[in-house]
């Protein structure tokens, strides 16, 4: 069974930086896509960023230029580097891993709070 462990959330001031990580218990070769979604209080869960196995990257417009998604294949880990954080970035961030025909999986979520 696929296990996803997220870490790196916390409280930061506006303009600050934070890096999230998500470690998968499978080889990165098994993964079609790994991405990040977030859900703010009272809102739907929304797409943030994803990276395909071949390296193609996609971001939601709201984070372009501020967030960077990357991966460490040796550790089957994906990262979300967040900079110039805004209060509107406050949400629970969820890691998602898509294994194609073998399904899609979610991490437990990690809270990111951007506040003065």
Residue entry with tokens 């971001």: 59
- Region for 76 from its dihedrals, namely left if φ exceeds 0, alpha if ψ lies in -120 to 50, beta otherwise: left
Per-residue pLDDT of the chain (116 residues; tens, 9 = 90+): 788 999 999 999 999 999 999 999 988 788 899 999 999 999 999 999 999 988 999 999 999 999 999 999 889 899 999 999 999 999 999 999 999 888 999 999 999 999 99
Contact assessment for residue 82 and residue 19, using Cβ atoms and an 8 Å cutoff: yes
């Amino acid at each position: 069974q696929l296990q996803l462990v997220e870490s790196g959330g916390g409280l930061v001031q506006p303009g600050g930086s934070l890096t999230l990580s998500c470690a998968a218990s499978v080889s990165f070769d098994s993964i079609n896509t790994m991405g990040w979604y977030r859900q703010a209080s009272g809102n739907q869960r929304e797409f943030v960023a994803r990276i395909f196995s071949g390296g193609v990257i996609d971001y939601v417009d709201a984070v372009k230029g501020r967030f960077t998604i990357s991966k460490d294949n040796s550790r089957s880990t994906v990262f979300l580097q967040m900079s110039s954080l805004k209060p509107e970035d406050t949400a629970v961030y969820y890691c998602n891993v898509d294994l194609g025909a073998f399904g899609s999986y979610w991490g437990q979520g990690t809270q990111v709070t951007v506040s003065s």
